[in-house]
Chains A and B, each alone.
Chain A
């Protein structure tokens, strides 16, 4: 999105053009349902300033995209995601009815599945760091945990 506008001269809009654009500007705002705007405002409640972010490093849906986007391969709905922080990596694989995960380096810890309804689920990793979230959360979710060394880590929000 590098295409910034050239330096425009305000004088180049005639009065009727300006009025027409104003009319559309006012109409645009009317067109957006208030609930749509309120939804966005409400998301501020999820502002989270503590802890370390495990950021999305790989997403099979987007990385190596384009060709993949046009492939009609309905038999392989699998999606793989990787989230990393300095200390911990989450490897996730989406299968039809569950999220299969593993933390690396492997360790036993509680993974909190945070969802927008507030009804978080907790799963515990096994001795090789694997865990299963079943069923797949219906809406956006993020994974939170505290590592063996005490660091609080959270992934980006995930939307399957």
Chain B
């Protein structure tokens, strides 16, 4: 319940003019807009233009959005539309075949957009859940999550833990993470495979 009600709550507060709530909505969904820009292979300038239009249209829409829960779906539609617009502009500008091919190859965009949205919302929920863990859990999981894998020995040294204690602590911290209300409904079996395609 936490995730949905939080989103609805943020939307309602933003509708009433709460700048802080708006900022949190943007923080939460900016990775999604960024991911879709990635898919459309837009350059940095075009990405900024897309983001500007997406958020401008969202601000404009906010007042008439009847159901706060519809926010994410609406944002996804607008983001797709603005990315498409930008990639067409690229095509006109450079009159190359690249963008045309891209449009063809992206055939079923709405499926891709839906998957990205799902993934971004899940990861935003994970970040929110992570932020609420106790410091020792955050420190350990952060080290375990590093791209360059550290050995248990290195981790033990950094955190002043016994090597034998790392495994059980890891298990307890992940169990805590799993129980976070933020993650309710987010850790399905399909999630891992859905993430496989687009980790660029």
- Chain A positions within 8 Å of B, measured between CB atoms, are 1, 3, 5-10, 12-13, 15, 17-29, 31-32, 35-37, 39-41, 43-44, 46-49, 53, 61-62, 69-70, 72, 74, 77, 116, 139-140, 156-157, 159
Contact partner of A40 (CB less than 8 A), chosen from B51, B103, B123, B130, is B51
Contact A18 B174 (CB under 8 A): yes
Please name 24 pairs of A and B residues whose Cβ atoms are closer than 8 Å in the assembled complex, sorted by A.
Answer: A8-B188, A8-B191, A13-B192, A19-B145, A21-B191, A22-B126, A23-B146, A23-B147, A31-B31, A32-B31, A36-B34, A39-B48, A40-B33, A43-B52, A44-B14, A44-B59, A47-B62, A61-B88, A70-B100, A74-B95, A139-B49, A140-B56, A156-B57, A157-B60
Return chain A residues, CB-CB under 8 Å to B49.
139
Q: Which residues of B contact A18 (CB under 8 A)?
A: 174, 177-178, 187
Q: A159–B53 contact, CB under 8 A?
A: yes
Specify the main secondary structure of chain B where it touches its partner.
helix
Q: For chain B, which range describes its interface: under 10, 10 to 19, 20 to 34, or 35 or more residues?
A: 35 or more
Within 8 A of A (CB), among B152-200: 170-171, 174, 177-178, 183-192, 195, 199
Q: Tell me the residues in window 39-75 of chain B with beta carbons closer than 8 Å to chain A beta carbons.
A: 47-49, 51-60, 62-64, 73
Residues from chain B with Cβ under 8 Å of A29 in the complex: 31, 123, 127
Contact A22 B177 (CB under 8 A): yes
Q: Are B51 and A39 in contact (CB under 8 A)?
A: yes
Whole-angstrom CA separation of A55 from B5 in the bound complex: 30
Would you call B47 and A36 a contact (CB within 8 A)?
yes
User: A42 CB to closest chain B CB, in angstroms?
Assistant: 8
How many Å lie between the Cα of A44 and that of B95 in the bound state? 35
Q: Which A-chain residue is minimally distant from B120 (CB atoms)? A: A28
CB <8 Å contact, B26 and A1: no
Query: Which of chain A's residues has its CB closest to B57's CB?
Result: A157
Cβ of B151 within 8 Å of any chain A Cβ, yes or no, is no
Interface residues of B in 76-114 (CB under 8 A from A): 76-77, 81-82, 85, 88, 92, 95, 100, 103-104, 110-111, 113-114
Q: Is the CB of B56 within 8 A of A157?
A: yes
Q: Chain B residues with Cβ under 8 A from A7's Cβ?
A: 185
List residues of chain A with CB within 8 A of the CB of B88.
61, 69
Once the chains are docked, how many angstroms separate the CA of A134 from the CA of B81? 26
In the complex, the answer to whether A24 meets B34 with C-beta atoms within 8 Å is: no
Residues of chain B lying within 8 A (CB to CB) of residue A8: 185-191
